[in-house]
Amino acid sequence: MLIKTVRGYTPVFGKDCFFAENATLIGDIQMGDHCSVWYQAVVRGDVNRIVIGDYVNIQDGAVIHATYEKSSTQIGNNVSIGHNAIVHGCSIEDNVLIGMGSIVMDDCSIGSYSIIAAGAVVPQGTVVPPRSIYAGVPAKKIKNLSDELMQNEIERIAKNYLLYASWFKTEQ
């Protein structure tokens, strides 16, 4: 893993985190406990601050970044960032699933217990209300999140990534 200091900022992370060997963490990053950053994922806090809560998984190839002197990135607790997703200069509340290959642009706000579907592009400044599912290009609300989807997707994926990370920690 590459952990790099930039502009005097060094990433800070909590206890029991897993970082893949080729994950990259740069600059002004504050990450909580029980997080995982997977293969070829990049968390780049070189141009603005990135704050990540507890129990967050950033899957393979995902990019977390921000906009210089404009938009920082805040990610709540129990959030899953899918493979190859881009999260850029936005705010993601607790218990959210950002689907594979999706893009969340600057100044977006993603409410708690929401799902951004795989491949969705959430345009700059979009406010996603809590318990919403957004899909498409540009992303639009397709329905409210049911209790079943909340448990079978958001909670299941987050718990699975805790399990997956434990496999790798015991091998090190």
CA 49 centroid distance within chain: 14
For residue 31, what are its two tokens? 């990450």
Q: Quick one: CA dihedral 108, 98, 43, 91, positive or negative? A: positive
Q: What are the CA-CA distances from residue 77 to residues 31, 46, 56, 134, 170 (Å)? A: 10, 22, 6, 20, 24
For the stretch 99-140, pLDDT in tens is 999 999 999 999 999 999 999 999 999 999 999 999 999 999
Q: Give the per-residue pLDDT at 81.
A: 98
Q: Inform me whether the pLDDT recorded for 46 exceeds 60.
A: yes
For the stretch 156-170, pLDDT in tens is 999 999 999 999 976
Contact, 59 vs 43, CB < 8 A? no
Amino acid at 103: I
Round to whole Å and give the CA distance between 105 and 13: 24
Round to whole Å and give the CA distance between 51 and 6: 16
Query: pTM score, two decimals?
Result: 0.96
Strands 132-135, 140-144: pairing kind: antiparallel
Categorize the per-residue pLDDT at 171 as very low, low, confident or very high, splitting at 50, 70 and 90. Answer: low
Q: Which fold has domain 2-171?
A: UDP N-Acetylglucosamine Acyltransferase; domain 1 (2.160.10)
